[in-house]
Structure 1
Amino acid sequence: MSEQKDKVLELSQKAEKATQQKFEFFTNISHEFRTPLTLIQAPVEDLLNNKDAAPFKNDLSLIRKNSMRLLRLVNQLMDLRKLDSAKMHIKAAEHDIIPFLEEIMSSFQKLALQSGITFKLITEDRNLKLWFDPMMLDKVMFNLLSNAFKFTHEKGSIIIKVEQNALSNEVLIKVEDTGEGMSEESVKHIFNRFYQGENFSQSGSGLGLALSKDLIELHHGHIEVESHLGNGTKFSVHLKSGKAHFNSSEIIEGEHQQYFSEENISFEDFEPRPVMVESDEPKEHTVLVIEDEKPIRDYLCKQLGKHFHIIQAENLETGLNKALDQVPDLITIDLMLQQKNGFDIVKILKNDIRTSHIPIIVITAKKGIEERIKGIKLGIDDYITKPFSFELVLERIKMLLANRQKLREHYIHELPVENTAITKQSPDKKFVSNFTALVEKNISNSQFGVNEICLEMGLSRGQLYRKLKALLGYSVNDYINKVRLKKAKHLLLTENSPIADIAFQVGFTTSAYFSTAFKNHFGITPSEFRDQQHQN
């Protein structure tokens, strides 16, 4: 009996190990798919934006459309894997359902227009609210509409109806089309994984509808289908009203964000934009690209190099050394580097006073919400999943650099003159506070400068210069002069000491040099400034 029990346990452990290996295989292979997909999609979008490629627009659009289709298939496989391993969790919040559906419909409007298909939404209550997970319901509706458009001929119709059933306490979302319809046998199996009925053999994977059924069941709802050959198809999604059917872990209370699935965005509605001519102006910012996939690294460096100075690193160690040595204005990094997890370098960079101010964008094949949450906690500034649009990457880099400029102006605006106690702060603010306190403490010492600050703060001259330039926009000496002049202005207002004494108090060796510096900065000499204040 004992031997039999041990045998069962051993078989169970082997089965569990095999299951884990299967899940790991799906995870790894999906990431492998995303790299070539990135290298297909990104250059294709660049070509579509190039007026010289206009003769090939149709072919390029076909490539882009099918790469997007392949990406959706990869993501569906990943979602099914998560469902099987119980790692997909619903996060429901209350949303306006009609605007949500109309946003998804907008991706199909151009296709409907081109095919002469009547495409509309019908409801009696446009203010209807419903508790659901928007990322999940987005996938469901996208699948249902994709199927409807596949099998609906020109001049047909696809109608979305939203109804509230008070008796059953449900909201029904119906997708009705006048397409080819399905046989009775197909209807029985349509929600089975990898099932391909008569009409699906050439254009369906058998994944989308199976995934949709599982996602609706996570909402504690269900999905039904009615169809007859030649008479169209109707899918009905039944979702319960209110939130009583969800447990506490399935609900997001209070403020919530409207999520969307990046892979579900349709690019069919975007016309190619005019090509931006590369500017001859000097490149102001430096970007460090850390990526071990050489084709992607080369592509990113080439494209970003049109706008920024580029430093590149093929592994974490090199990337960390270059970040500490050259202190770039922004870093892009892949989380799945061969040596170790990219989160390791993020943690080091965000906790080191020399680099804590640098915005970090993660560009990765990892698209799970768990990775995003972990990244946010570590201080990642933005998160982009592969395959990506280069235009999206570029705009996010520009946005982060602009925000850094606003933060710099904020620091400059409220720089302390008097030393104040430092409470628990971000590393950047702590650095600024320490630096300004050190300058204030030594303000009367005319010999105080870069060497003394480097010694006190444990930074090299280059690191100190780049850190201060990034946060405050000044060189060390310019900033020290700014603080000295600000202090002098304060003393001229509050004390009756001779101007020569005030000049020495703030570290100027001669009153003549002080007067010249004061006038260059404020547009008025110290004596004229004091006279004006007395007149007022």
Structure 2
Amino acid sequence: NSDGVWMESGTRVLPIIVLPTFWETYWAWILYTFLFIVSTATIVYIILYIYRLRHRINLEQQLANIKLRFFTDISHELRTPLTLIASPVTEVLEHETTLSANARKHLTLVHKNTERMLHLVNQILDFRKIENKKMKVLLEKTNVLVLLEKVMDNFRLIAEEKNINYQLQTNQEIISAWIDQDKFEKIIFNLLSNAFKYTPANKSITVHANVEGDKLIVSVADEGIGIDPKKQQTLFQRFETLVKYNILQPSSGIGLSLVKELIELHCGSIEVKSQPEVGSEFIVTLPMGQKIYETHKNTEFILNDGASTETDNEIDEVSQDMPMDTDKVDPISILIVEDNTELRSFLHTILSENYKVIEATNGQEGLEHAQEHVPDLIISDIMMPVMDGLDMVKNIKENREICHIPIILLSAKSSLDDRISGLEQGIDDYITKPFSATYLKARIKSLLHQRKQLQDILWKQWSEKQENPAAPSIDISPSQPQITPFDEQFMQQVMEVMEKEMDNSDLTIEEFAQKLNMGRTVFYQKLKSIIGLSPVDFIREIRIKRAVQLIDSGEYNFSQVAYMTGFNDPKYFSKCFKKQMGMTPSEYKEGKK
């Protein structure tokens, strides 16, 4: 009550009922539970979908990699049989004059398709290099129009056969740009190949080359079947082809994908404009300057003072101008190290007419033959069982008895890095398969000719040192890598033995070789390879040169000079002196007076 006392009687109860809102009802909680389950299921589904999508992409990527690895392995294997097809066919076409017109036509067709197979093989290998980030861009200042004409010439014949209006249009007389010539050729070749593949007869194909600012715009437009808009979205994907049009003209599906990759290496772009049954136009945009490439680590600049290309005919002329060294009594020997029996046999056939050929099937056997026979030149493959070519080269260059031998490597590995690796081992040349038999023979003659010049230079230097002991020692120039420090040490040791044994008339070649800790055959071959003289001729010439020095001193008579230089018969000494100097000792002395 008002006094604060609780009243037991007279109490009133007022019931109050508060109705819940909808968000607080059981139905709302059921809805919350349902939404939670749906959200969770959606999230799980999305996660699983993304996982499946990634898994599918990984599988497709792995499948593409497996395809490429398979094609790469096959490509490496194909290079050797391609060599065995291309080289003999080229040899027959170039040198056989009795071929009938029909036979020459068929062989020309074989040669043409061999070149196409090689082109496809190289595309696969280029993909592997791009994927492994080993593809380098070798930029060179190039006249683009001349290069375009060169590529377009490959399709002139088919354009005439299909009566296609085929031309190059440009708004410039000369377009000079920094491009990789090899890759640019592949880009245009693939685009033209596709254009001719899908363009019917009596239509036109036009190549446009223009300059817009600092950009080079090259496009290939045709009046072919065109490309469906849906197909254009996946046109540059790997292994993507226009299937229904490829029944009679099969395609590998890597040409346009490779084109896109090569253009991106050039910091450029490609787009396609096409309408079904109207035609297509592929537009390539490339930067013309070199600054954009300067930050790219896989880019190298090639500085050239003029473009020059060697044709097979020019090589033939060069090889004819360098005749064989007919002064040598012994035939020039060449060691062929190749694990492929057919290729080794082919090399033996084309070289055995002019050289003595020794064969080996792997690097280990090649090293043993090199030590046993000491050939004048070695031709070797790289990828071989037991011991590969590079290891064999390394062992040869570390062996003082055979380090002087010139070496040519033949390999299916055609990248710049592989060539550099071979040259760093000390080889003289690196030729990729397939190779021209004419070029190989010309290169062999060139190397042997250079070796003969080096022999003359080295012999002249040693002769001058013998005549004038106060003269400076022989200068081994870096520009002549064939002369190794081992060769210089060897010649110094030879001259030391010669000085000690100058008056020894009983000195034999076996004893001379033993004093150098070498076998007679190895000593004979090495000395002849370095200075072009056999040991007998070398000893005789050195003794005659010492005899000249003694005669010039005026302190000895001819008999004394003969015995002091190892001749136990003055008459024989006089005969040898006249043969070398062109006069008798008395005539020489009178002439000096």
Q: Is the 8 A contact 1:450 1:461 kept in 2?
A: yes
**Amino acid aligned to 1:193:** R
Q: Which runs of 5+ in 1 are unaligned?
A: 1-10, 271-275
What is the aligned partner in structure 2 of residue 193 from structure 1? 238
CA–CA distance in 1 between the matches of 2:177 and 2:217? Answer: 11
Q: Report the CA distance between 1:346 and its aligned residue.
A: 1.1
CA contact (8 A) 1:138 1:261 kept: no
The 10-residue stretch of structure 1 (175-184 or 243-252) with the greater mean CA deviation from structure 2: 175-184
Q: Say whether residues 1:170 and 2:218 are aligned partners.
A: no
Q: 1:365 to 1:261 in 2, by over 3 A?
A: farther
1:238-261: CA deviation from partner (whole Å, max 9, x where unpaired): 111222211163443574699999
2:256 is equivalent to residue 209 of structure 1: yes
- 1:296-315 equivalences under 5 Å are 296-315=343-362
Partner amino acid for 1:41? Answer: A
Q: Which moved more, 1:77-86 or 1:503-512?
A: 503-512
User: Which residue number in structure 2 is paired with residue 79 of structure 1?
Assistant: 126
- 1:32 equivalent in alignment to 2:56: no
CA contact (8 A) 1:92 1:250 kept: no
Letter in 2 for 1:370: D
> Could you give the per-residue CA deviations for residues 183-224 of structure 1, whole angstroms, max 9, x where no partner exists?
444444332212212544524322122111101101111122
* Amino acid aligned to 1:506: T
The more displaced of 368-377 and 87-96 is: 87-96
After superposition, where does 1:96-495 map in structure 2 within 5 Å?
96-109=143-156, 111-112=158-159, 119-123=166-170, 125=172, 127-152=174-199, 157-166=204-213, 169-197=214-242, 198-201=244-247, 202-246=249-293, 247=295, 249-253=297-301, 255=303, 284-416=331-463, 417-418=465-466, 426=484, 427-440=486-499, 442-493=501-552, 495=554
Offset from partner CA, 1:494-514 (integer Å, 9 cap, x none): 656444444344333344332
CA deviations over 1:131-162 (Å, ceiling 9, x no partner): 22233223222222333443455665544443
Name the amino acid aligned to 1:31: H
List 4+ stretches of structure 1 deviating above 6 A.
14-23, 257-262, 422-425
CA distance in 1, matches of 2:333, 2:307: 31
Contact 2:461 2:474 in 1 (8 A): no
Q: 1:348 to 1:204 in 2, by over 3 A?
A: same
Distance of aligned partners of 1:463 and 1:234 in 2 relative to their CA distance in 1, 3 Å threshold: same
CA distance in 2, matches of 1:48, 1:221: 41
Distance 1:104 1:414, change over 3 A: farther
8 Å contact from structure 2 (residues 269, 284) kept in 1: yes
Residues 242 and 458 from structure 1, CA distance in 2 versus in 1: closer, same or farther, beyond 3 angstroms?
A: same
What amino acid is the match of 1:214? E
- Superposed displacement of residue 330, structure 1: 1.9
> What is the CA distance between 1:90 and its match in structure 2?
2.2
Counterparts of 1:145 and 1:346 in 2: how far apart (Å)? Answer: 43
Q: Name the counterpart of 1:7.
A: none
1:227, 1:492 → 2: CA distance? 92
8 Å CA contact 1:335–1:363 kept in 2: the answer is yes
Distance across 2 between alignment mates of 1:142 and 1:260: 21
**Secondary structure of residue in 1 paired with 2:77:** helix
Tell me if the contact between 1:283 and 1:307 (Cα under 8 Å) persists in the aligned partners.
no
- Shift in CA distance, 484/80, structure 1 to aligned 2, threshold 3 Å: same
Query: Please, what is the CA RMSD of the aligned residues?
Result: 3.8
**Matched residue type, 1:145:** L
- Assess, with a 3 A threshold, how the Cα gap between structure 1 residues 504 and 253 changes in structure 2: closer, same or farther: farther
For 2:129 and 2:357, how far apart are their aligned partners in 1? 37
Q: TM-score under structure 1 normalisation?
A: 0.82
State the SS of the aligned residue for 2:359: strand
Distance 1:130 1:317 in 2: 48
**Number of equivalences:** 509
Q: Whole-Å Cα distance in 2 between the matches of residues 339 and 88 of structure 1?
A: 30
Q: 2:6: which partner in 1?
A: none
Q: 1:58 aligns with which of 82, 98, 105?
A: 105
Could you say which structure has the larger radius of gyration? 2
TM-score norm. by structure 2 comes to 0.75
Post-superposition offset of 1:468: 2.0
Change in CA separation of 1:434 and 1:257 when aligned onto 2, cut-off 3 Å: farther
Q: Residues 499 and 297 (structure 1 numbering): CA distance in 2 closer, same or farther, change over 3 Å? A: same
1:83-104 CA-to-partner distances (Å, cap 9, x unmatched) read: 2222223233433434444444
Q: How many percent of aligned residue pairs carry the same amino acid?
A: 34
CA contact 1:134–1:258 (8 Å) conserved in 2:
no
Counterpart of 1:68 in structure 2 is: 115
Given candidates 551, 573, 576, the residue that maps to 1:517 is: 576
SS in 1 for 2:385: coil
- Structure 2 unaligned residues grouped into runs of 5+: 1-54, 315-319, 477-482
Question: Structure 1 CA distance, aligned partners of 2:264 and 2:125?
Answer: 18
1:406 is paired with a residue of what secondary structure?
A: helix
Helix, strand or coil at the partner of 1:212:
helix
- 2:548 and 2:146 map into 1 onto residues whose CA distance is 57
**SS at the partner of 1:237?**
strand
Deviations 1:7-59 (A, max 9, x none): xxxx9xx9999998776544433222223323333333344454455333333
**Match of 1:91, SS?**
strand
RCO comparison, higher one (Cα < 8 Å, 6+)? 1
Instruction: For residues 295-350 of structure 1, give each alpha carbon's deviation from its aligned partner in whole angstroms, at most 9, with x where no partner exists.
Output: 22223223333332221112222222111111122222111112232211111122
Judged with a 3 Å threshold, the aligned counterparts in structure 2 of structure 1 residues 99 and 409 are, in CA distance, closer, same or farther, namely farther
Mapped partners of 1:207, 1:18: distance in 2: 15
Q: Report the 3-state secondary structure (helix = DSSP H, G, I; strand = E; otherwise coil) of the residue aligned with 1:325.
A: helix
What secondary structure does 1:245 align onto?
Answer: helix
